[in-house]
Structure 1
Amino acid sequence: METSQRRREDGPLRSVLVAAGLTILGLLVANFTTLPAFLLDPALLESPADASRAARSVLLILNFVGFALAGAIYLAATDHGWAYVDLRMPSKRGWKYVGIGIVAILAFYFLVSIVVSTLSLPSSENQVMSYIDDDPTMVLIMIAIVFFFNAPAEEFLFRNIVQKRLYAAFSRLQAVVIASVIFGLVHFPSYALLSDSMLATAVPLATVTGGALVFGYLYAKTDNLLVPIVSHATFNAFQFGLLYLALEYDLFEEAQPTADAVVDALAAVPL
C-alpha cells in the first residue's frame, strides 16, 4: 500500500532528480570525509603515488565512508530508519544469485576485454590506479578495502538507496537501468582526469555501467543487499588479485598482446 501511494505521488522526473540528488550528496559528503587524509599527507594533492601507504589507504577508506554516510543521512532525513536496509544472510537462492553474479560479471568483463583488444579501443585508467601506482602491497590493501568499505558503501548507496528510491516511479528493470547509468556517470571524473580523449573515457564508463546492471539486477531479484555486495567485492578482489600477480611477476611485460589486454581490462578498471 505504501509503495502504491508513493507511486501516485512520485512522477518519473521527480524520482530521477531525487536519485541524482542522492548521488551528488554522496560525492559531496565523500569530498568532505576525505579531508583528514590530505592533512595527514599533503603529497596526495600533487603526487598521490609519493604519499605514504597509510595516507592513501585512509583517503580511499574515507571516500567510501562518505558514500555510506550520505545513505545514512537520507535514512535519517526520511525517517526510514535502518529497517529500510535490506541486509541479511542470503538464503540458498540468494547464494545462487551471488554465484550467478560473479560468473556474469567475469564473463562480461572478459567479453569487453576481447572487444577492446580487437577494435584497439583506447581505455582510460581509473583514478584509483594513481594511488596504487606499481605498489603490490597497496594492491593487497585495496583487496581489504574492497570487502570492508568499497563494495558495502557503493551497494548501500546506489542499490539500497538510489535504486530502491527509483522503485517509487519505475518498474524494477527500469530502476536498475537508471541507477546503473547514474552509477556509471559518477565515475566520469575518475576516468576523465587520466584520459586523453572522450572515447578513452567512454569505454570504461560503459564497462562500469554494464557491471552495475549486473549488481542492480541481483539486488532487484533478491531484495538482499548482501548479494550484490558479495558479488561486487569478490569480483573487485579478483581484479586486484590479478593486478597483484601482474605487478609482482611482470605479467604485463611477458604476456602476449591478447592476454595482456585481458589482464589490463580486468585489473585496471575497478568498479
Structure 2
Amino acid sequence: MTETARADDTGPITSDVIPGIGTTLAGITMVAMLVPVRQGVDDLAVWAGVGFALAAVLAFLVRRHGGIERTIAGPIAAGSSVAVVLLAGYALNQGITASTSLPSVSLSIPLVFVAFVTAGLTAGVGVAESLGIGLVGFKRRTQQLAVLTGVGFAGLFAPEITTPVLTIPIIPFVESLSETELLVVSQVVGNLGMALGTAIIAVGYLRLTDRDRSFLDLRLPTAREVGWTVAGLIVLFGAVFAIDFVMQTVGVEGSDHATTQQAQERPELMLVMIPIAILVIGPFEELLYRNVIQKSLYDTFSRAGAVVTASVIFAAVHVSAYATAGLGAVIASLGTVFGLSLVLGTLYERTENLVIPALVHGLYNALLFANLYSLYG
C-alpha cells in the first residue's frame, strides 16, 4: 500500500464506525438470504448463505464491542461475505431469486441478488477493517471507487454517442451495400465508435485530474515482457478452462456473449472481428480499465486491491454483452470475466506496460473469434 494511502488510514474511531457499517450490510445480507427460507425454499446453498452472513454479522458485532482484534474480525467477515457472494450467485443461477414486490409499486426485487451485492460490499468493509483503515481513508476509497465506476460505465455508454457520429459519412452509400457488406461496415464502425468513445473518456478523465500523457504506460515490450505476454495468454486460457470446469462440475450455466449469437447467424463476421480484437478491442479496453482506472486506484488502494477493484468494475460493465439469458446465467459469465480481468490486471501491475495486457487481451479475443468461425463457418 502506498504512503499516500496510509496517511489517513488510522483514527480513533476505526474500531467503531467501520464495524458498524459492516454490521449493517451483513445484516441486510442475512435478511435477504433468509427470505427464500421463509418462502419454503429448502436449498443447501441458501442455508449456507444464511450461516455465513450470520458469521459476518457476529464478527463485526464482537469487534465493535472490543471482543476480538480487527486482524481476526476483518478476515472472518470478509471471507464469510465472499462465501455468501458465491452461494447467492449459485442460488440465482439455479433460479432462486426470492423476488418480492414493493408495496404500491409495480416493481419486483430479487432479494437474493440484493444479498449478492451487499455481501460483496461487506467483503470490502471486512478487508478495510482487517487493514485498520480509518473512517477518512474508508471515505476516500469509497469516493474514488464511485468516481472510477462512473468512468468505467461512461466508457460503456460513450459509443452510443460516437458511433452514430461516425455513421453519418457512410449513410449515402448504405443502399448500394449488400446485407453482408452492411453488417461488416456496422461492425467496423461500431468498434471504431467504441475506440473513440473510450479514448474521449480516458483523455477527459486524465485532464480533469491534472494528468498528462506521461500517465500512460506505453513503450515497446522488452524480451522479458514478451515472456510475460506468452505466459499471460497461457494463464488466461488456463483460467477459462478451470472456471468452466468448476462451473460444469457444480451445475452452473453461463450466458453466451452477444458475439456468439452473431457468429451463429453470420460466421463470416468473425473474420472481421479477428483484427478488430487485436487493433481496437484489446488496446482501448485496457487503456481505460487498466491504465486509467486500475492505475488511478493505486493512489488509495494497495496494488492487489486495485487489481481486484478494477476487475469488479471491468466485469460489471460487461453486463450488457452477456444479457442474453437470465440473471443467474449473466452473473456466472461475469464471474468468468472477473477471473480473466484479474489475470490482465496482474500482467499490467507486474510490467507497468499497457502494451502487454492490451496484446494479451486482443490475442485472446482474436483466438475466440477464430474458434467461433471454425465452429459455425
- The TM-score normalised by the length of structure 1 is 0.80
Counterpart residue number, 2:147: 18
Counterpart residue number, 1:214: 343
Aligned residue among 212, 225, 247 for 1:116: 247
Counterpart residue number, 2:218: 87
Of 53-62 and 109-118, deviating more is: 109-118
Inter-partner Cα distance in structure 2 for 1:231 and 1:153: 13
Once the two structures are superposed, the pairs formed by residues 114-193 of structure 1 within 5 Å of their partners are 114-192=245-323
Secondary structure class of the residue paired with 1:58: helix
Structure 2 residue 356 is matched with structure 1 residue 227: yes
Secondary structure class of the residue paired with 1:80: coil
1:16 positional shift: 0.8
Contact 2:159 2:190 in 1 (8 A): no
1:66 positional shift: 1.3
Inter-partner Cα distance in structure 1 for 2:228 and 2:350: 8
Residue segments in structure 2 that go unaligned for 5+ positions in a row = 9-136
Counterpart residue number, 2:195: 64
Aligned residue among 92, 98, 114 for 2:229: 98
Counterpart residue number, 1:29: 158
- After superposing on structure 2, the runs of 4+ consecutive aligned residues of structure 1 that deviate more than 6 Å are none
The AA in structure 1 aligned to 2:302 is S
1:132 positional shift: 4.1
Contact 1:123 1:200 in 2 (8 A): yes
Deviations 1:206-250 (A, max 9, x none): 0001000000000011111011111111111111111111112xx
1:117 positional shift: 3.4
Secondary structure class of the residue paired with 1:79: coil
Of 28-37 and 222-231, deviating more is: 28-37
Of 238-247 and 30-39, deviating more is: 30-39
Inter-partner Cα distance in structure 2 for 1:93 and 1:185: 32
Inter-partner Cα distance in structure 2 for 1:6 and 1:73: 24
Secondary structure class of the residue paired with 1:189: coil
Larger RCO: Structure 1 or Structure 2 (Cα < 8 Å, ≥ 6 residues apart)? 1
The AA in structure 1 aligned to 2:237 is L
Structure 2 residue 363 is matched with structure 1 residue 239: no
Contact 2:217 2:352 in 1 (8 A): yes
1:4 positional shift: 4.5
Structure with larger Rg: 2
The AA in structure 1 aligned to 2:339 is G
Inter-partner Cα distance in structure 2 for 1:64 and 1:120: 37
Contact 1:98 1:228 in 2 (8 A): yes
1:27 positional shift: 2.2
Counterpart residue number, 1:254: none
The AA in structure 1 aligned to 2:285 is E
Percent of residue pairs identical: 31
Inter-partner Cα distance in structure 1 for 2:151 and 2:3: 22
Inter-partner Cα distance in structure 1 for 2:295 and 2:6: 12
- The TM-score normalised by the length of structure 2 is 0.58
Change (3 A) 1:19 1:56: same
Change (3 A) 1:238 1:178: same
